[in-house]
Structure 1
Amino acid sequence: MAKALVGFIGGPTTGQLRETASLQRRILDLEDEIMRLKVENDGLLLTIRERVDSVTAGDLMEPATH
């Protein structure tokens, strides 16, 4: 029904089209940021796993030094 109403009143305005394009660009930017953060997170998780795997029982028995 919304499409019928938009068609009846003459379609989207230039401003609406501009805003839609702007929002679509923003969505793409946010999707890129999500992907970048996922890659960064995966790298951090890998680093943590490597460090945890290298810890020995002796390391856990040593007092912590600051």
Structure 2
Amino acid sequence: MAKALLGHVGGPDPRMVSEMRRLQQRVRDLEAELIRLQAQNDALAAAAHEEFVPGVQDREPALT
């Protein structure tokens, strides 16, 4: 019990602090990758939409 109290009072475990920092950096990296992939997906979806939906200039003239 004394060791547990001493460890608790002695401050945070350096290994735990290091692991926490590593995990926080990993979360930041994954969030940045998610934002990049969402932007890439949006661009691809817009390009695919433009490919299948003809614009005004692509329409053929109406028969008279």
Category of TM-score, reference length = shorter chain: 0.5 to 0.7
Partner of 1:24: 24
- 2:12 match: 12
**Superposition CA RMSD, Å:** 2.3
Give 1:41's aligned residue. 41
Q: Which runs of 5+ in 2 are unaligned?
A: 59-64
Shift of 1:12: 2.6
TM-score by length of 1: 0.66
Paired residues, number: 50
Identity %: 33
List runs of 5+ in structure 1 lacking aligned partners. 1-7, 57-66
- 2: CA distance, partners of 1:12 / 1:20: 11
How far apart are 1:39 and its partner, in Å? 0.1
TM-score by length of 2: 0.68
Query: Could you list the runs of 4 or more consecutive aligned residues of structure 1 that deviate by over 4 angstroms after TM superposition?
Result: none
